[in-house]
């Protein structure tokens, strides 16, 4: 951005402040416990789910090498991409719905950026100590003490990063085989690359980028504001109660000193992972992690003041002094009900469509190389290519019959064997007795039926060509 | 203009998401095992996905960076002339 100074010179001013490293103080309290619960919950799923077996294979596997996606009982082919697009839409919608009610609760508790930053900061605190000790250590010249603390931290970070990268790749290539090849140092070049790439990204994002990802890079952080309204839950500072702020001794009468409840200890700023002062009001940098709520509550406890000077509330509630019941009542506003209705429809539609999905898919292509031909002087024969695809997880023996013309019969290839969740092609020859149909193209229909499961069947249209 | 972490981040990240989406879309429609690259037929799927992803990422980043750069020059020249 260019600005003119008073001297008439033009000088360039960066749109962004120069980056100051943020030393967030460790915090404890009920919201912090919820966040740590979410860290364990989400990471137990991420690190654990890759190892869960299902139907003799990995339960959740996006097998890129085989171009097949497995999600528990479901098998998806590339042709099913619409389902995955649909799942993404549902996830996005769920995020909108939650955001409209509870603000950036996803950012503060479940976003991988937050979760890994939380884990990495925990490691950092173990090696380098609390906020003040970390600041001193960064100022200090290099020493053995600094070397082992920094070195130990980075070693731990790198190990967590690599494990994360390994797990990530384990969702795209079977993790059991991947683990074996990692142990024998024989991973393929692309797997090796992705393990290191994802590990490096984890290390960089959670170790260094941290809040900058949320502040400058994340599109969601910016566009979520359109889902906010005055009844959305946000982290708020009760200025009316807190101001005028100021230090005071414990047990003095704040009213006599003409002071509000805020003791101006600045702890809320010190714990903030994005380095803002929540007392300045709602800011786009606030990720709703409520570390400031936890720390302020401990201060309020010490001062024997009621908790909640900083609390989850809504803009309306703060202005109109609503209690929790009133906030809950305003939660069910038209916007939320509409979001909810659409969400239910989408999820219902998705599951209905998945439940009704035919496990068998057949494409019949008339072989254009071989035109209709006469066989044994008694029949007219047409040849077709069958492309069969199944998502059933047992081997299927399929019987194919034709209908639509008098005495039409399958001469060859009337039986096809398909391996579980696989594709196969087969050549099919169909005959009619000579002189029973006029020359030209006749519509026919193929019925493909599984021998073992009567529900697995499909009917395909095609055409039979009779030559002149 | 200054290409600091924050500015580069705005170029990197949305381009990353775009590249991931495009990679998924393109290779859902096209099976790399069935294509021929300069007459070379045994294209490994993993290789195609990876090279494809980085190609998309680089191209989208380059386009975003160019847009950002042109936009800044434009903004700088208009605000510069109007304030003089």
A15 contact residues in B (CB cutoff 8 A): 7
B7 contact residues in A (CB cutoff 8 A): 15-16, 216
Domains of chain A, first to last: 229-322 (no CATH), 360-466 (2.60.40.10)
Q: What is the pLDDT of residues A189-215, one digit of tens each?
A: 999 999 999 999 999 999 998 888 898
> Per the CB < 8 Å rule, is B31 touching A219?
no
User: Taking CA atoms, what residue in A is nearest to B26?
Assistant: A78
Q: What is the pLDDT of residues A350-381, one digit of tens each?
A: 999 888 888 888 888 887 777 788 888 889 99
A188 contact residues in B (CB cutoff 8 A): 46
pTM for this one? 0.85
Closest CA to B56 of B23, B9, B8: B23
Q: Report the gap between the CA of A173 and the closest CA in chain B (Å).
A: 10
- Confirm if A114 and A289 have CB atoms less than 8 A apart: yes
Q: Does B42 touch chain A (CB under 8 A)?
A: no
Q: Report the gap between the CA of B10 and the closest CA in chain A (Å).
A: 5
- CB-nearest to A2 from B13, B28, B76 is B76
Residue B80: the pLDDT is: 58
Ranges of H-type helices in A284-333: 291-302, 315-320, 324-331
Q: Is the pLDDT of residue A11 over 60?
A: no
B47 contact residues in A (CB cutoff 8 A): 190
The structural domains of chain B, with segments of one domain joined by +, span 5-83
- Confirm if A72 and A196 have CB atoms less than 8 A apart: no
Interface of A with B (CB under 8 A): 1-4, 8, 10, 12, 14-16, 18-19, 64-65, 67, 78, 81, 173, 188, 190-191, 193-194, 209, 212-213, 215-219
User: Taking CA atoms, what residue in A is nearest to B53?
Assistant: A194
Q: What is the pLDDT of residues A370-419, one digit of tens each?
A: 778 888 888 999 999 888 988 888 888 999 999 999 889 998 888 999 88
Residue B74: the pLDDT is: 85
Q: Report CA-CA distances (Å) from A312 to A101, A274, A316.
A: 12, 18, 12
User: Taking CA atoms, what residue in A is nearest to B47?
Assistant: A190
> Per the CB < 8 Å rule, is B6 touching A216?
yes
B34 contact residues in A (CB cutoff 8 A): none
Under 8 Å CB pairs connecting chains A and B tally to 72
Q: Is the pLDDT of residue B82 over 70?
A: no
User: Taking CA atoms, what residue in B is nearest to A218?
Assistant: B13
B81 contact residues in A (CB cutoff 8 A): none
Residue A422: the pLDDT is: 87
Which residue shows structure tokens 């000790």?
A133
Residue A19: the pLDDT is: 61
Q: Is the pLDDT of residue A1 over 60?
A: no
Q: What is the pLDDT of residues B39-58, one digit of tens each?
A: 887 888 999 999 999 999 99
Q: Is the pLDDT of residue A293 over 50?
A: yes
Q: Report the gap between the CA of B45 and the closest CA in chain A (Å).
A: 6
Q: Does B13 touch chain A (CB under 8 A)?
A: yes
Q: Report the gap between the CA of B82 and the closest CA in chain A (Å).
A: 10
- CB-nearest to B46 from A190, A212, A215 is A190
Q: Does B50 touch chain A (CB under 8 A)?
A: yes
Residue A375: the pLDDT is: 86
pLDDT band at A184 (very low <50, low <70, confident <90, very high): very high
Q: Does B78 touch chain A (CB under 8 A)?
A: no
Q: What is the DSSP track for A110-170?
A: T-HHHHHHHHHHHHHHHHH-SHHHHHHHHHSPP-HHHHHHHHHHHHHHHHHHHHHHHHHHT
> Per the CB < 8 Å rule, is A2 touching B80?
yes
Residue A6: the pLDDT is: 44
Q: What is the pLDDT of residues A234-255, one digit of tens each?
A: 999 999 999 889 888 888 888 8
Tell how many helices (H) and how many strands (E) occur in chain A.
16, 18
Q: What is the pLDDT of residues A143-175, one digit of tens each?
A: 999 999 999 999 999 999 999 999 999 999 999
Say which range, A91-95, A133-137, A139-143, has the weakest mean pLDDT: A91-95
> Per the CB < 8 Å rule, is B6 touching A81?
no
Q: If you compute the radius of gyration of chain A from its CA atoms, what whole number of angstroms results?
A: 33
Q: Is the pLDDT of residue A8 over 80?
A: no
> Per the CB < 8 Å rule, is A19 touching B5?
yes
pLDDT band at A313 (very low <50, low <70, confident <90, very high): very high
Q: What is the DSSP track for B21-84?
A: HHHHHHHHHS-GGG--BTTB----HHHHHHHHHHHHHHHHHHHHHHHHHHHHHHHHHHHHHHH-
User: Taking CA atoms, what residue in B is nearest to A12?
Assistant: B1
Q: Is the pLDDT of residue A84 over 60?
A: yes
Q: Report CA-CA distances (Å) from A291 to A147, A160, A180, A444, B30.
A: 30, 24, 42, 69, 47
Q: Which of A1, A214, A215 to mutate to test binding with chain B, by most B CBs within 10 Å of its CB?
A: A1
**Mean residue pLDDT across chain A:** 89
Average pLDDT, integer, range A329-342: 89
Q: Are strands A409-412 and A423-433 parallel, antiparallel or unpaired?
A: antiparallel
User: Taking CA atoms, what residue in A is nearest to B72?
Assistant: A1
> Per the CB < 8 Å rule, is A216 touching B75?
no
Q: What is the pLDDT of residues A25-68, one digit of tens each?
A: 999 999 999 999 999 999 999 999 999 999 889 999 999 888 88
- CB-nearest to A65 from B12, B17, B46 is B46
Q: Is the pLDDT of residue B15 over 90?
A: yes
> Per the CB < 8 Å rule, is A216 touching B9?
yes
> Per the CB < 8 Å rule, is B75 touching A219?
no
Residue B1: the pLDDT is: 64
Sequence-separated (6 or more) residues with CB below 8 Å from residue A276: A269, A283, A285, A286
- Confirm if B10 and B68 have CB atoms less than 8 A apart: yes
pLDDT cut 90: percent of chain A above it:
53
Question: What burial class does residue A145 get, using C-beta atoms within 10 Å of its C-beta: 0-12 exposed, 13-18 middle, 19+ buried?
Answer: exposed
Residues in chain B: 84
**Mean residue pLDDT across chain B:** 86
């Amino acid at each position: 951005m260019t600005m003119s100074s008073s001297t008439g010179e033009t000088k360039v001013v960066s749109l962004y402040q120069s980056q100051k490293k943020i030393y967030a103080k460790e915090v404890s309290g009920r919201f912090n416990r919820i966040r740590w619960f979410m860290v364990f919950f989400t990471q137990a799923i991420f690190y654990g789910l890759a190892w869960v077996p299902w139907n003799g294979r990995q339960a959740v596997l996006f097998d890129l090498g085989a171009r097949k996606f497995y999600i528990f009982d479901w098998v998806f082919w590339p042709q099913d991409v619409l389902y995955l697009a649909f799942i993404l839409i549902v996830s996005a919608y769920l995020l909108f719905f939650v955001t409209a009610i509870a603000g950036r609760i996803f950012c503060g508790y479940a976003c991988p950026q937050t979760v890994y930053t939380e884990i990495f900061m925990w490691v950092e605190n173990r090696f380098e100590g609390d906020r003040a000790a970390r600041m001193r250590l960064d100022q200090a010249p290099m020493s053995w003490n600094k070397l082992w603390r920094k070195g130990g931290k980075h070693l731990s970070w790198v190990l967590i990063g690599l494990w994360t990268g390994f797990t990530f790749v384990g969702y795209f290539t079977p993790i059991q085989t991947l683990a074996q090849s990692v142990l024998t140092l024989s991973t393929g070049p692309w797997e090796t690359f992705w393990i290191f790439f994802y590990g490096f990204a984890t290390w960089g994002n959670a170790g260094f980028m941290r809040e900058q990802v949320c502040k400058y890079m994340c599109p969601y952080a910016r566009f979520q504001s359109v889902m906010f309204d005055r009844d959305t839950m946000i982290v708020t500072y009760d200025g009316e109660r807190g101001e005028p702020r100021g230090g005071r001794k414990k047990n003095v009468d704040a009213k006599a000193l003409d002071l509000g409840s805020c003791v101006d200890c600045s702890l809320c700023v010190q714990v903030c992972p994005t380095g803002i002062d929540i007392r300045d009001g709602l800011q786009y940098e606030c990720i709703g992690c409520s570390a400031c709520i936890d720390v302020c509550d401990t201060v309020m406890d010490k001062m024997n003041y009621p908790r909640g000077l900083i609390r989850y509330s809504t803009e309306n509630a703060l202005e109109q002094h609503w209690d929790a019941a009133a906030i809950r009542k305003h939660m069910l506003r038209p916007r939320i009900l509409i979001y909810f209705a659409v969400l239910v429809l989408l999820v219902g539609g998705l599951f209905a469509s998945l439940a009704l999905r035919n496990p068998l898919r057949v494409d019949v292509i008339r072989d254009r190389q071989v035109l209709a031909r006469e066989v044994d002087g008694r029949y007219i024969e047409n040849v077709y290519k069958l492309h069969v695809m199944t998502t059933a997880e047992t081997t299927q023996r399929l019987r194919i019959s034709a209908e639509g013309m008098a005495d039409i019969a399958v001469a060859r290839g009337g039986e096809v064997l398909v391996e579980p969740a696989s594709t196969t092609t087969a050549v099919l020859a169909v005959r009619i007795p000579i002189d029973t149909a006029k020359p030209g193209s006749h519509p026919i229909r193929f019925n493909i039926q599984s021998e073992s499961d009567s529900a697995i069947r499909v009917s395909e249209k095609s055409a039979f060509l009779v030559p002149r | 203009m200054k290409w600091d972490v924050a500015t580069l981040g705005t170029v990197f990240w949305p381009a990353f998401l775009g590249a991931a989406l495009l990679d998924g879309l393109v290779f859902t429609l096209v099976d790399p095992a069935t294509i021929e690259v300069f007459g070379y037929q045994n294209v490994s799927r993993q290789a195609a996905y990876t090279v494809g992803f980085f190609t998309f990422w680089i191209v989208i980043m380059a386009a975003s960076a160019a847009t950002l750069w042109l936009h800044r020059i434009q903004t700088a020249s208009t605000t510069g002339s109007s304030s003089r």
